[in-house]
Structure 1
Amino acid sequence: MVVSMAYVASCPLGRLYARGPSLRPGTRRWSATAPLPLLENPRRTTLLRCEVNSESAKPTVATPPLAEDYTSPTNSINYSNFSMSQSELFPSLPNKSINRRIALTSVVAAFGLFLSSRLELGVSLKDLSAISMTYEEAISNGKPTVLEFYADWCEVCRELAPDIAKVEQQYKDRVNFVMLNVDNTKWEQELDEFGVEGIPHFSFLDRNGNEEGNMVGRLPKQYLLENLEALANGASSVPHARVVGRYSSTEFRNVHEVTDPRSHG
């Protein structure tokens, strides 16, 4: 019994019940086995305390690698992989055979360009006059004739020379083509007869040598083709009989004597 009382005395709750309950009237009795109610304190503040390990808080300082690390097999760089041959750094120059082929190709290209420009530009006035039929032969062979009065200094005449050459090749079997240089004093009578005041001057003659019409200056190529077609078919007139385009005046004639009486240039 002494031991039990001593245990009760050591426990605060025991001391409470040892004295006996001293409850006021109207209060609720609490049993010894029931848990005590929890009291809420709204002003109670919980404080947290952080303890930092002094050793882990120290800043970490990177230690530079030792010199021996650069020579270790794991950290070394094999610069042999980046080596380039001399041929890659300095491309080889073309050899003699390539140079010959390049030169030959250039020559062929230049020659082709010359031929194409020659065909496009056509023959010159000198070439046309060289292949032209003589006036005397043209008026006596029974074919219709086209007389072209021209001059070497005539810009429009030079411009029309390629077209005239193509047309002549197309109708040379049915129509005569004659070129008369206005600077040649031999053709003074023809200049007056056909009333040549500007060049190029084209006179279209029938089979009997009678003029059916004329064209002066630069005009559409179609005009010339239609007149030639009418002459070749024996028509009594040409569709473009009196038309004038851009021309050069005969006032700028450079008259000179010709020794060859058969010359028509």
Structure 2
Amino acid sequence: MTPSPPDPAALSSPSGPRPASGAMGRTERMVLAAVAALLALLLLWLRGGLHPEAPLERLARQSPDLAVALANGRPTLVEFYADWCEACRAMAPAMDRLEQQHRGELDVVLLNVENPRWQAEVERFEVNGIPQLELFDAAGQPVGRSIGARSATELASLTTALLQGEPLPQLPGVGATSRLPASVPAAVATQAGPRSHG
């Protein structure tokens, strides 16, 4: 007995003929899956998801303890920052490069002014604006302070001065530090804190 040919009416539907083996459906599904994957990657990239840790967060996480940094015989650059500080975030890539270039010869320490753990340091160094850099020589002695955002070039010149034990460069907002007398005038004692500006 020979099989009879398929009925042409059975192969078609009201919307037209169907694909012969479902290969077209498989190809469409693969294309849709690829497009969906690309869109998901694009969305993650736009939201920063492909870079789980921005330079500021990475520096803060890996920075040594301040007491250790000041006692290990290397110059130290301390940055007081906050997560919401745009100037701090803008400086972070240059700070990250400096830390990587001078690892083992310079300590970079980040202290978040929003973290209660660092409140004593915020008060000790009279932080009233951020970013604020405190600069220390290899003996752990304060040699200067920088207030405000710094360009990569300015950060490099500050770092070079620290590493070579030279005077700090003449930059606006950079100056040597000095010890205050035990009795501080009332005007200085009532200074605004780093979180006081809006």
| Shorter-chain TM band | 0.5 to 0.7
Partner of 1:211: 142
The partner residue of 2:110 within 179, 185, 195 is 179
Q: What is the CA-CA distance between 1:166 and the residue it aligns to? A: 2.7
AA aligned opposite 1:236: E
What does residue 173 of structure 2 align with? Answer: 243
**CA offset digits 1:101-136 (Å, max 9, x no partner):** 453365257537856967899715433321111111
Q: 1:227 aligns to what?
A: 158
Distance 2:50 2:75 in 1: 28
Matches of 1:96 and 1:240, distance apart in 2:
68
SS in 2 for 1:127: helix
- Alignment length (residue pairs): 158
Larger Rg: 1
1:105 and 1:184 map into 2 onto residues whose CA distance is 43
Gaps (5+ residues) in structure 1? 1-85, 88-93, 254-265
**How far apart are residue 185 of structure 1 and its match?**
4.0
Equivalent residue number for residue 107 of structure 1: 37
Partners of 1:226 and 1:128 lie apart in 2 by 20
RMSD value, Cα: 3.5
**1:138 Cα offset (Å):** 0.2
Q: CA deviation at 1:162?
A: 3.1
Q: CA deviation at 1:139?
A: 0.8
Pairing 1:252–2:196 present: yes
- Structure 2 counterpart SS, 1:163: helix
- Cα gap change, 1:171/1:105 in structure 2, threshold over 3 Å: closer, same or farther? farther
**Which residues in structure 2 correspond to 1:28-177 (within 5 Å)?**
95-101=25-31, 103-104=33-34, 107-108=37-38, 111=41, 114=44, 123=54, 125-177=56-108
TM-score normalised to structure 2 length: 0.62
Structure 2: distance between partners of 1:122 and 1:184: 19
Aligned CA distance change for structure 1 residues 184 and 121 (closer, same or farther; 3 Å)? closer
Q: 1:243 to 1:118 in 2, by over 3 A?
A: farther
CA change 1:130–1:104 in 2 (3 A) is same
Conserved? CA contact 1:199–1:216, under 8 Å: yes
Q: Separation in 1 of the partners of 2:50 and 2:170?
A: 28
**Cα separation, partners in 2 of 1:126 and 1:220, compared to 1, 3 Å:** closer
Residues in 2 aligned to 1:243 and 1:150: alpha-carbon distance in whole angstroms: 16
Tell me the secondary structure at the aligned position of residue 71 of structure 2: coil
Q: Which has the higher contact order (CA 8 A, sep 6+)?
A: 2
Query: Following the alignment from structure 1 to structure 2, what is the Cα–Cα distance between the partners of residues 128 and 121?
Result: 13
What do the CA deviations read for 1:199-229 (whole angstroms, capped 9, x no partner)? Answer: 1111121101122222222232210011112
AA at the equivalent of 2:27: S
What letter corresponds to residue 118 of structure 2 in structure 1? Answer: W
Long gaps (5+) in structure 2: 1-15, 18-23, 175-192
Q: Is the 8 A contact 1:147 1:179 kept in 2?
A: yes
CA contact (8 A) 2:91 2:152 kept: no
- Identity among equivalent positions (%) equals 31
Counterpart of 1:212 in structure 2: which amino acid?
V
Structure 1 residue 181: Cα displacement:
1.9
Q: Sort the Cα spacing of 1:143 and 1:113 in 2 relative to 1 into closer, same or farther, 3 A.
A: farther
